Structure 1
Amino acid sequence: MTARRAVEEHSLNAYKHVVYWHDTEPVTPGPPLRETVDCDVCIVGGGFTGLWTAYFLKEAEPALDIRIVEAHHSGYGASGRADGFVTPTIGKDIQALVKEFGEERALEASQAVGRSILEIGRFTRKNKVDAEYEATDYLMVATDAAQLRRLEEDRDLAVRMGAAPPEIMSRDEAMSVVGSPAIAAGMRTGGALVNPFKLARGLARVVREKGVTLYDRTPCLRVEPGVRPVVVTAGGRVKADKVVLATNVHMDAFPPFRRKVVPIWTYAMVSEPLTDAQLARVPWAGREGLVEAKSLLTCARFTHDNRIMFAGGPAPYYWGRDKRQRNMNRPEVYREIHREFLRFFPMWADVEFSYAYGGTADVVRDYAPHFGTLAGGRVLYGYGYCGNGIAATHTGGKVLRDLTLGKDTPHSRLLFVDDGRRRPPASFPPEPALYIGARAATRLMNWKESRP
């Protein structure tokens, strides 16, 4: 082993394979369910989708008895592992949604998610949730000709949809926003940054204060159908008028969704706080989020205490839908992320990274969220954010509120809803075809996006 490789391996071994956000606020999990209870609405999953649904239901109908069962604690899963970009994204392929639903309905959905960005900020201020919310926008950047073409396509689509056309910045203009030599062009997009774990924990506190009962350490074993469905857990049962399934990447635990979603791993690294001298090397006064214009995202941002979070690299699927925590320890992934970091920021070669971690995102065949009802409207669901869920889950909470209450509203008619005009996503194949297909799809995506 060379001296350089030995140093690199030592650095990799020194990483803390813990989600950085989880270290920013202590958690004492609440009590689990230990009895049989009866309620109006039982929500399975205490992440953003379930919490926002409970919040909006309580805002609309304060008398509702709402219970949430959560396998760990709110913020433990994908909600508290996100990179913290609050964007107007709806899935990963807006062009496909425009083709299927038309420009008017796609714009309507985009605007609904865009409003959620502002409303999340208002929620944190109103409820004194210290989620480190920063209304910074973010900069979508191109580093080659293929990515510049994608920026141009996004700009042209915005024009066709009737939105204000975003300006494509030259290299010098974009570098004046974020001083990375890798940037060839850029486009500013509305958005914000947040500490996702603190947002989830604050949201859980708020819904408890509104009278919602949360059961931590209470994984759902199954849902028994019936006139009043029953959520069965290891320690008890919840009989409810309505059950909302909000487990996202874990939706495959329920038979109707077993092959509708696959867990794709995404990874991030977080540095030690940068010194004033290190910060001075890179113009980045606005603290905007940085996102590379490709499907398998590379992104970067500052945390509240001036650490650099850098995410990207491979987004693998592991055989057998492997979601185990052991997949955090993937040295080859972190080597690739660090190489990408130095491509963007060679002037930060001395920056020390202390956190290296990952988590799973729920990916569906059409790369867009899905909401709907089963069992005659007694069971509801929402999932499929494909790693872009912080704002979309807020919008989704309104969708699930209106579906739960049986109301015909603009939210219940958004293109996200699996109604007569939209069907649930196509199923994924079983193993080994799933593993082979997932790896092939990643290679194909990389090839398509590398073409000039």
Structure 2
Amino acid sequence: MNAYKHVVYWHDTEKVTIEAPLRERVDCDVCIVGGGFTGLWTAYFLKEAEPALDIRIVEANHSGYGASGRADGFVTPTIGKDIQALVKEFGLQRALEASQAVGRSILEIGRFARKNRVDAEYEANDYLMVATDAAQLKRLEHDRALAERMGAAQAEILPREESRAVIGSPAVLGSMRTGGALVNPFKLSRGIARVVREKGVTIYDNSPCLRVEPGVRPTVVTAGGQVKADKVVLATNVHMDAFPPFRRKVIPIWTYAMVSEPLSDAQLGRVNWEGREGLVEAKSLLTCARFTHGNRIMFAGGPTPYYYGRDKRQRNMNRPEVYREIHREFLRFFPMWGDVEFSYAYGGTADVVRDFAPHFGRLGGGNILYGYGYCGNGIAATHTGGKVLRDLTLGKDTDFSRLLFVDDGRRKPPAAFPPDPVLFAGARAVARLMDWKDSRA
């Protein structure tokens, strides 16, 4: 087996200039905790709406270091993990409104990148949801039926040969094309950070938030300074558990990926994949694959473990057994690429909540706001979420502030997770249950 680089591939595609940390006490209109997609889009949309606002972002590392820059780069219309549960809870119309809002974000991210000259390697290629067994074919049928109920254009399930003509994997038995795009998530996050700085937003890197002190004007406290603001927005994704109101609302689930060396022309010629669509297997714990801009193959999947004690440490990247399983899955899909060399093997944490859907809202008197819970499907949803948090921050009653994402009294906050060791055992039981359900879809 190769000696892999346990470094996020995307992080090697662009150099980073670190902004100065917070070293003083400052006062502003809005302080955003977290410089990932949610925080950056919120700052961007707030500046678009109210250019005079003084906005400060405190970030533990630098924009793109966390989940935003480690994502697999699929920009999809996904709302959490279980759209059928949202339809059941909120009704078809409200689920449709949320889905359409996130769907529009796919296109708007592309427009943003072009308008602001952000080299996010945006490719509007769609993605192919593929089935590799009879249960997954049934799931495709369920998804197609739900899409049609929600008013989408009639989705067609492609049979085996037509599917393999799109992506030439012998494992694929059927597929359904879904609208979406591919991006380099790190370059996108760095690009948004540049744009908001140009609009006058101050970003403090290497400034992890120690606590938020509530009050008429809450205070964000870091090791080096403090920010007092009219409004504070908590946008720390999987790290929301650092704040007492969310301590047991979110858990960190690890996901893993591998990225190959650039494929040669001879290797590329062995597989039909002219459209460069993303590939996603139709199951709960996803397997996915895509080309990078430089014709590397990114393949992700395998185990999605929860490590005891909410362990988010970088040492969890070094998990040889995980990468062996991912490589076996890769060869199941693409046995003709047995000579493809993988050079990057890495992981990161996704924020998972009990109802598998995003949550936005206000705490206490409404001057502390929050957004989290994307469950690993956040690139488009964070863009929509930035608009939600813009309107909640400005106190505006809009279509975005009324989306089903918002904990507004009509929607209950997610149920709490139990503490360890019950959580540790339960997380593994849920993974096994999902596999069992997928086999019986």
Instruction: Normalising by structure 1, report the TM-score.
Output: 0.97
Superposition map of 1:351-430 within 5 A: 351-430=340-419
Superposition map of 1:135-146 within 5 A: 135-146=124-135
Matched, 1:102 2:117: no
Q: CA deviation at 1:203?
A: 0.3
Task: Give the Cα separation in 2 of the matches to 1:253 and 1:232.
Answer: 13
Task: Give the Cα separation in 2 of the matches to 1:201 and 1:269.
Answer: 22
Matched, 1:157 2:121: no
Q: CA deviation at 1:165?
A: 2.2
Matched, 1:22 2:11: yes
Superposition map of 1:431-446 within 5 A: 431-446=420-435
Task: Give the Cα separation in 1 of the matches to 2:123 and 2:47.
Answer: 27
Q: CA deviation at 1:295?
A: 0.8
Task: Give the Cα separation in 1 of the matches to 2:30 and 2:246.
Answer: 21
Instruction: Please list the CA deviations of residues 114-169 of structure 1 after superposition, one character each: whole Å capped at 9, or x if unmatched.
Output: 00000000000000000000000000000001111110001111122222221000
Secondary structure at the counterpart of residue 105 of structure 2: helix
Secondary structure at the counterpart of residue 274 of structure 1: coil
Task: Give the Cα separation in 2 of the matches to 1:158 and 1:30.
Answer: 44
Superposition map of 1:22-101 within 5 A: 22-101=11-90
Which residue number in structure 2 is paired with residue 239 of structure 1? 228
Instruction: Please list the CA deviations of residues 13-59 of structure 1 after superposition, one character each: whole Å capped at 9, or x if unmatched.
Output: x1000000000001121100000000000000000000000000000
Q: CA deviation at 1:308?
A: 0.1
Task: Give the Cα separation in 1 of the matches to 2:187 and 2:318.
Answer: 25
Q: CA deviation at 1:429?
A: 0.2
Matched, 1:212 2:201: yes
Which residue number in structure 2 is paired with residue 168 of structure 1? 157
Amino acid at match of 2:401: S
The counterpart of 1:295, out of the listed 284, 308, 328, is 284
Task: Give the Cα separation in 2 of the matches to 1:259 and 1:229.
Answer: 23
Which residue number in structure 2 is paired with residue 5 of structure 1? none
Secondary structure at the counterpart of residue 266 of structure 2: helix
Which residue number in structure 2 is paired with residue 221 of structure 1? 210
Matched, 1:250 2:239: yes
Secondary structure at the counterpart of residue 354 of structure 1: strand
Task: Give the Cα separation in 1 of the matches to 2:18 and 2:303.
Answer: 33
Which residue number in structure 2 is paired with residue 119 of structure 1? 108
Instruction: Please list the CA deviations of residues 272-303 of structure 1 after superposition, one character each: whole Å capped at 9, or x if unmatched.
Output: 00000000000000000000000100000000
Task: Give the Cα separation in 1 of the matches to 2:108 and 2:129.
Answer: 22
Secondary structure at the counterpart of residue 55 of structure 1: helix
Which residue number in structure 2 is paired with residue 186 of structure 1? 175
Amino acid at match of 2:190: R
Secondary structure at the counterpart of residue 254 of structure 2: strand
Which residue number in structure 2 is paired with residue 321 of structure 1? 310
Q: CA deviation at 1:451?
A: 2.3
Amino acid at match of 1:315: T
Identical amino acids, percent of aligned pairs: 85
Instruction: Please list the CA deviations of residues 82-120 of structure 1 after superposition, one character each: whole Å capped at 9, or x if unmatched.
Output: 000000000000010000000111011000000000000
- Aligned-residue RMSD, C-alpha: 0.5
Instruction: Please list the CA deviations of residues 370-400 of structure 1 after superposition, one character each: whole Å capped at 9, or x if unmatched.
Output: 0000121100000000000000000000000
Q: CA deviation at 1:447?
A: 1.1
Secondary structure at the counterpart of residue 41 of structure 1: strand
Q: Which runs of 5+ in 2 are unaligned?
A: none
Secondary structure at the counterpart of residue 39 of structure 1: strand
Task: Give the Cα separation in 2 of the matches to 1:173 and 1:240.
Answer: 56
Task: Give the Cα separation in 2 of the matches to 1:163 and 1:277.
Answer: 39
Matched, 1:346 2:335: yes
Which residue number in structure 2 is paired with residue 3 of structure 1? none
Amino acid at match of 2:132: T
Instruction: Please list the CA deviations of residues 52-87 of structure 1 after superposition, one character each: whole Å capped at 9, or x if unmatched.
Output: 000000000000000000000000000000000000
Q: After the TM superposition, which segments of 4 or more aligned residues of structure 1 sit over 4 Å from their partners? A: none
Secondary structure at the counterpart of residue 428 of structure 2: helix
Secondary structure at the counterpart of residue 376 of structure 1: coil
Secondary structure at the counterpart of residue 153 of structure 2: coil
Instruction: Normalising by structure 2, report the TM-score.
Output: 1.00
Task: Give the Cα separation in 2 of the matches to 1:108 and 1:165.
Answer: 18
Task: Give the Cα separation in 2 of the matches to 1:163 and 1:352.
Answer: 40
The counterpart of 2:269, out of the listed 261, 272, 280, is 280
Matched, 1:267 2:256: yes
Secondary structure at the counterpart of residue 162 of structure 2: helix
Q: CA deviation at 1:357?
A: 0.1
Amino acid at match of 1:274: L
Secondary structure at the counterpart of residue 365 of structure 2: helix
Matched, 1:447 2:436: yes
Moved more, 203-212 or 153-162: 153-162
Q: Which runs of 5+ in 1 are unaligned?
A: 1-7
Matched, 1:332 2:321: yes
Moved more, 381-390 or 153-162: 153-162
